[in-house]
């Protein structure tokens, strides 16, 4: 058996960052910036008022001072002139501050009568002016890689970047294998169950920014598996589920090898999810996951997620592991790293009693995978442990 | 001024849960389950083996016991017979356990010679059998509302639910207003800037499950605003940005009122984002946000997010507020609830020095909004404060 970290290393060596494509900014949220981009202007592009009020010379600002209003500056409508001594320009938030002015007295501090204003409340020290380039300057960089969040999209818009270079979405083909499976909506025979892993993995991988196709179920025959692999053509990552161990009914590895894959089997010191198969085939990475539903989903979090992130040009790990205090004691762990289905509530973490790797109902109730290192000793309530948030 | 909570209450009263639509399961991730659904079968649908091994009568299991292998049960291929005394059936994970058998001896504990097996390693107490219905039973409910996560999609698939009732996506129309704005990719005049709020808000609201349209920029004229409102037809929520306060250049409220909106202005005791306008117009909710980029985005988190969640049938608040220790002291807060741009790193929270509401570069660097209640006293490093993760 090899440690989880070593297996992950093998899998990550099968993939690398994909090509770059240009997408309109309005469609770039959730995509990964692939190249540094530069602001195409200063923001603000001029010295701007931060408030509604009157622009004057700062040296003249004091209680009871009077000014003559000689014009108006609104956002998008500069005042084309300058303010001299005793002069003010009515100004609105975001408008260019006229030449000669260096202070905006907010309207609440002023009494106006016709074209005359009097400062009737002591203005604060803040000149209420935003310097040119105070947010960003022409040429300022937004660095890649970066998973573009809503605030990034707003920033790139303000920088006048109408389209952005992002990493192409990884294409994933998902193949479930086994004579026991029928698709949802089908009519299972008495010894059959419904295929669920491909549906759960598609949702998971698409949430990361991949595009996943669910292929028809491959039956436990060489020809059916060969057909499935053919249908996976064009994918960057082919994931099979089930039939990947070295047991009597595991044809997937044989067929993949016949089709030119240099495959490796990994017995990973991990619960759930011990057997993994991996290799490269026709330019695609290929991973064979175990067929138990929870094993497949946990392997999706632990192995496929860092592979997708690598293809997107991101660091493999989405986040540092979190820590929380145990709500109840745990017995000592065996020789395998255990990803226990758990719930974290109010900062305390509880593992579910039943950790059988077939129980999707428990996985759906979990919001954390409590990680127990191999041979971790017994733990008491209150002990701090690590978990991966789901 | 009214508190943030009161303003949020007013806005939430403008919206209600939208209709239900049926979507294929493969497209249901991230959607909100609108009605309870029931499992259409037991899972497992039969007593199933949890391991690869040999199915025997539990009473006969002991070290050195021998059995004759009379057949095989694989996933999807039941053994059509029963095991009698001294008999075993070769069985694989997920296969139905034959009648007469009540224990699966794992293959690692057995030595096989032809059709005879001998138990050569003491089996544990675990019978390695999954009871019928151990994951879920026919008719078992998945309760609405529920934001469907990958594990839910896998569970619903296993329940043989090929399509699910979800709340329709809210349609949002985003209108930025102001003569100072040009769209990204345009050529701004010397007193113009680039429209960024609609892009950031579209990304934010679509991340919540809405569908958002960016409408053409409305100019500061009644006819331009009227055109924009007409283009918003069909939306569940119309959001205008800029021109929503009661200042001289604020036409939005007037035009909306002319078009039949019963509008309210709210001076919210909040930084950033004091002025809000809200009402209902032609069957849609309408919200007018302030035009400062950071104000618009913070109002998106604080006000639009709970509105979208309400339309989706979810509780308005996505999550409880988080808490963290301050990395540096903070001066006392004024009379308004302050949403400070901040970073949380390693469990410690630091507010940015410059909290000007025009600074998108700082918002993009933030990963938290530190929330200071009105008149919150000065805080020391190490004090625990609340924040909204971004």
More confident residue, A162 or A319: A162
Judge if B26 and B103 occupy the same domain: no
Judge if B108 and B175 occupy the same domain: no
CATH number at residue B377: 2.40.340.10
CATH number at residue B201: 3.40.980.10
Lowest mean pLDDT among A142-146, A263-267, A306-310, B233-237: A263-267
CB contact under 8 A, B191 and A26: no
pLDDT at A276: 85
Judge if B199 and B305 occupy the same domain: yes
Give the helix ranges, DSSP H, for chain A: 4-12, 150-158, 197-207, 222-231, 252-258, 293-299, 305-311, 360-365
CB contact under 8 A, A179 and B76: yes
Provide the mean pLDDT of chain A. 93
* In-domain check, residue B214: yes
Judge if A275 and A154 occupy the same domain: no
* In-domain check, residue B317: no
CATH number at residue A156: 3.90.105.10
Place A111 in a pLDDT band, splitting at 50, 70 and 90: very high
Closest CA relative to residue A12, chosen from A357, A347, A306 = A306
User: Which residue in chain A is spatially nearest to B142 when comparing CA positions?
Assistant: A361
Q: Is the pLDDT of residue A246 over 60?
A: no
CB contact under 8 A, B25 and A199: yes
* In-domain check, residue B241: yes
Q: Is the pLDDT of residue B209 over 60?
A: yes
**CB-nearest partner of A193 from B45, B142, B193:** B45
CB contact under 8 A, A154 and B292: no
* In-domain check, residue A316: no
CB atoms within 10 A of CB A162: 18
The alpha carbon of residue A333 is apart from the nearest alpha carbon of chain B, in Å, by: 16
Q: Is the pLDDT of residue A248 over 60?
A: no
* In-domain check, residue B243: yes
- Substitution target from A153, A217, A219 for chain B, most B beta carbons within 10 A: A153
What is the span of the domain harbouring residue A75? 48-130
Chain A positions touching B77 (Cβ under 8 A) are: 179-180, 191
* A369: Cα separation from own chain's centroid: 19
Pair B281, B261: CB distance under 8 Å: yes
Judge if B159 and B274 occupy the same domain: no
Place B128 in a pLDDT band, splitting at 50, 70 and 90: very high
Beta strands in B243-383 (DSSP E): 262-267, 270-271, 275-281, 284-289, 322-326, 337-345, 348-351, 368-372
Judge if A302 and A347 occupy the same domain: no
Chain A positions touching B184 (Cβ under 8 A) are: 25, 156-157, 160-162
CB contact under 8 A, B202 and A50: no
How big is the CA angle at B336 (ends B335 and B339), to the nearest 5 degrees?
140
CB contact under 8 A, A364 and B196: no
* In-domain check, residue B232: yes
* A256 token code pair: 């993949």
Chain B positions touching A356 (Cβ under 8 A) are: 50, 130, 134
The torsion angle over the Cα atoms of residues A110, A111, A117 and A120, rounded to 10 degrees, is: -60
Judge if A58 and A11 occupy the same domain: no
The alpha carbon of residue A257 is apart from the nearest alpha carbon of chain B, in Å, by: 23
Contacts of A155 (CB under 8 A, 6+ apart): A136, A142, B196, B200, B360, B361, B363, B364
* B74 token code pair: 């694989």
pLDDT at A8: 94
**CB-nearest partner of B161 from A134, A158, A184:** A184
CATH number at residue B96: 2.170.190.11
How far, in Å, are A141, B2, B249 from residue B192 at the CA level? 22, 33, 16
Judge if B183 and B273 occupy the same domain: yes
Q: State the Cα–Cα distance between residues B170 and B185, nearest whole angstrom.
A: 28
Average pLDDT rounded to a whole number, residues A42-58: 95
Judge if A376 and A353 occupy the same domain: yes
Last residue of a domain, one of A252, A278, A311: A311
pLDDT at B251: 83
The one-character DSSP state at A303 is: I
Count how many Cα atoms sit within 13 Å of the Cα of residue B65 in the half-sphere of its side chain.
Answer: 19
Q: What is the pLDDT of residues A158-198, one digit of tens each?
A: 999 999 999 999 999 999 999 999 999 999 999 999 999 99
Judge if B61 and B100 occupy the same domain: yes
Q: What is the pLDDT of residues A72-93, one digit of tens each?
A: 998 889 999 999 999 999 998 8
Last residue of a domain, one of B253, B282, B312: B312
**CB-nearest partner of A356 from B50, B52, B291:** B50
Judge if B253 and B295 occupy the same domain: yes
**CB-nearest partner of A249 from B92, B193, B292:** B92
How far, in Å, are A210, A299, A322, B246, B360 from residue A201 at the CA level? 11, 10, 23, 51, 35
3-state secondary structure of B308: helix
Q: Is the pLDDT of residue B246 over 60?
A: no
CB contact under 8 A, B358 and A52: no
CB contact under 8 A, A364 and B297: no
pLDDT at B242: 87
Q: What is the pLDDT of residues A321-375, one digit of tens each?
A: 889 999 999 999 999 999 999 999 988 999 999 999 889 999 999 999 999 999 9
Chain B positions touching A180 (Cβ under 8 A) are: 74-77, 94-95
Q: How many residues does chain A have?
A: 390
Residues of chain A with pLDDT > 90, as a percent, come to: 82
Last residue of a domain, one of B74, B108, B130: B130
Domain count, chain A: 4
Judge if B326 and B376 occupy the same domain: yes
Place B244 in a pLDDT band, splitting at 50, 70 and 90: low
CB contact under 8 A, A76 and B220: yes
Q: What is the pLDDT of residues B267-301, one digit of tens each?
A: 899 998 777 889 998 889 999 998 888 999 999 99
Provide the mean pLDDT of chain B. 93
Q: What is the pLDDT of residues A182-241, one digit of tens each?
A: 999 999 999 999 999 999 999 999 999 999 999 999 998 999 999 999 999 999 999 999
* In-domain check, residue A135: no
- Reported ipTM: the value is 0.94
For every residue of B132-184, DSSP letters joined together read TTSSB-TT-EEPSSEE--HHHHHHHHHTT--EEEEEPPPEEEEEEB-TTEE-T
Pair B390, B369: CB distance under 8 Å: yes
CB contact under 8 A, B149 and A203: yes
Q: State the Cα–Cα distance between residues A306 and A301, nearest whole angstrom.
A: 8
* In-domain check, residue B265: yes
């Amino acid at each position: 058996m090899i440690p989880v970290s070593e297996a992950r290393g093998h899998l990550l060596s099968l993939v690398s960052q994909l090509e770059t494509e240009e997408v309109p900014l309005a469609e770039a949220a959730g995509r990964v910036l692939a190249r540094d981009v530069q602001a195409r202007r200063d923001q603000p592009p001029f010295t701007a008022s931060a408030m509604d009020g009157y622009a004057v010379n700062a040296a003249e600002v004091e209680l009871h001072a009077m000014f003559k209003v000689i014009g108006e500056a609104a956002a998008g409508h500069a005042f084309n002139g300058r303010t001299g001594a005793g002069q003010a320009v009515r100004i609105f938030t975001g408008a260019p501050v006229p030449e000669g002015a260096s202070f905006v007295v907010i309207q609440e501090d002023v009494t106006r009568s016709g074209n005359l204003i009097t400062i009737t409340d002591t203005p604060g020290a803040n000149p209420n002016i935003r310097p040119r380039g105070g947010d960003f300057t022409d040429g300022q960089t937004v660095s890649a890689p970066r998973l573009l969040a809503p605030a990034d999209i707003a920033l790139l818009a303000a920088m006048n970047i109408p389209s952005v270079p992002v990493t192409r979405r990884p294409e994933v083909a998902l193949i479930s294998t086994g004579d026991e499976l029928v698709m949802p909506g089908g009519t299972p025979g008495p010894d059959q169950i419904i295929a669920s892993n491909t549906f759960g993995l598609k949702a998971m991988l698409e949430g990361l920014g991949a595009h996943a196709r669910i292929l028809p179920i491959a039956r436990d025959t060489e020809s059916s598996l060969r057909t499935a692999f053919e249908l996976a053509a064009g994918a960057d990552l082919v994931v099979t589920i089930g039939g990947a161990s070295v047991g009597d009914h595991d044809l997937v590895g044989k067929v993949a090898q016949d089709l030119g894959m240099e495959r490796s089997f990994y017995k990973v010191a991990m619960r759930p999810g011990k057997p993994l198969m991996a290799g490269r085939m026709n330019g695609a990475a290929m991973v064979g996951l175990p067929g138990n539903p929870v094993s497949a989903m946990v392997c999706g979090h632990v192995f496929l997620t860092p592979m997708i992130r690598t293809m997107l040009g991101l660091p493999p790990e989405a986040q540092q592991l979190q820590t929380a205090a145990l709500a109840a004691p745990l017995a000592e762990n065996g020789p395998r790293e255990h990803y226990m289905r758990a719930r974290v509530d109010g900062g305390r973490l509880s593992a579910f009693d039943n950790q059988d790797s077939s129980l999707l109902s428990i996985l759906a109730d979990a919001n954390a995978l409590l990680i127990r290192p191999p041979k971790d000793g017994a733990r008491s309530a209150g002990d701090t442990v690590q978990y991966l948030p789901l």
